[in-house]
Structure formats: C-alpha cells, structure tokens
Structure 1
Amino acid sequence: MSNPSPSIISHMSIGTNDFDKARAFYDAVMPSLNASVILEHPGAVAYGRQFPEFWVQVPHDGKSASVGNGFHMGFIADNKEQVHAFYDAAIAAGAVCDGPPGPRPQYGEPYYGCFVRDPEGHKIEAAFWDDTLGQE
C-alpha cells in the first residue's frame, strides 16, 4: 500500500469565462509552487505536483462562471521563498494584491502566506506552515 496523502482534498476547480486568459495566468503562476500541467481537456486544464489537484475550466453547464463570496483556495508552499515567488508571479501575471506575503499569527504562529485575486476575481493564497517556530 502506498503512503497516504497528507491532504484531505482530492481536487478542486474554478470556472472561467475566458479560458485562454485564465490558462495563461495559471501557467505563469503555478510553477512558483513546483506545480505544472498534469491533464488537459478542451476547455479545462489541471495543475499539480503529481496529481491533477487544481482545475481551471469552462463550466460544464454552459452558464457563466462566477466568483463565490467567501470561497478561496490555499496552495501549499514549501517555504517562505515560494510564498514570495507565488505572489510575485501572480502580480506580474495580472493578479490584484489581497494581502502581501507575511506572517499572520491570527491563523497560527507558524503561518506565513499571501493572498491575491486572479484576473477573474478568485481569491487564491499560498501558505507555508513553519512547524519549527516555537520549538526550542
């Protein structure tokens, strides 16, 4: 039996009304987290490190995609440098800052992350959990 994944999430997806623009944005941003395209279908692309974990796609029902209020996605960064690389790549690719890289002790002392809004308004985050903090 293989080792179980540390994540409880199989995958997630967001809708887009401009697939080519969304694809270009995430093609520029996801490598900062060592993620790349894993699968592609017409109107859909999946990114991950090993598995198709994050999908960007045209909605299957043919209706317009919309941004969910209160919904955001957090990507795992391996270190603080990746948080900064993610933020810089996202801003360069057209994202809007929704919280620059830095510690946020309200989420726990080990938390270090950033928030941006992608070109369609989806709130995305990169976070590093430094579990060495507080250890003597």
Structure 2
Amino acid sequence: MVAFLAPSTDAVDLAYQAGMENGGLDEGEPGERPHYGDGYYGAYLRDPDGNKLHIVYRVDFSLQ
C-alpha cells in the first residue's frame, strides 16, 4: 500500500473521485477515521492494477 498526504479534505475527495473515474475500485470512501486519531481524514482505493492507495489529510492541531 502507498499513502499520499493531501493538503486538505477537499484534496482527498478530489483524488478519490479521480481514481474512481479512472478505473479504481473503492476500498473506503473519503471520511473521518477517528480510530486513527483526531483530525484524521482519508480514503482508500485500488488502482486498475490492484495496488492499494491511501489518501490522507491530518489536521495539525499545533497550528490552531
């Protein structure tokens, strides 16, 4: 599995949507993942070759 760090929740949504529109398979729609910690938002999909991808945005609470 490969993970990509996104700059925002919107970027996670857009990347997931682009992957799905280009032959990807759903492995977990975009959304909060509280079991990974506060401020964790991610999506999972498989590319057409079967590789699992994770796109994630993590809130940096130190900046707030």
TM-score above 0.5, yes or no: yes
Following superposition, the deviation at residue 122 of structure 1 comes to: 0.5
* Stretches of structure 2 lacking an aligned partner (at least 5 in a row): none
Task: Say which of 76, 87, 99 aligns to 2:5.
Answer: 76
Following superposition, the deviation at residue 95 of structure 1 comes to: 0.2
- Identity among equivalent positions (%) equals 37
Matched residues, number: 62
Which has the larger Rg? 1
What do the CA deviations read for 1:39-70 (whole angstroms, capped 9, x no partner)? xxxxxxxxxxxxxxxxxxxxxxxxxxxxxxxx
* Stretches of structure 1 lacking an aligned partner (at least 5 in a row): 1-71
> TM-score, normalization: structure 2?
0.91
More helix by percentage: 2
CA distance in 2, matches of 1:73, 1:109: 22
CA RMSD between the two structures: 1.0
Q: How do 1:1-136 and structure 2 match up within 5 A?
A: 72-132=1-61
Following superposition, the deviation at residue 120 of structure 1 comes to: 1.0
- The structure, 1 or 2, with the larger RCO (C-alpha pairs under 8 Å, 6+ apart) is 2
More strand by percentage: 2
**Which ranges of 4 or more aligned residues in structure 1 deviate by more than 6 Å?**
none
> TM-score, normalization: structure 1?
0.44
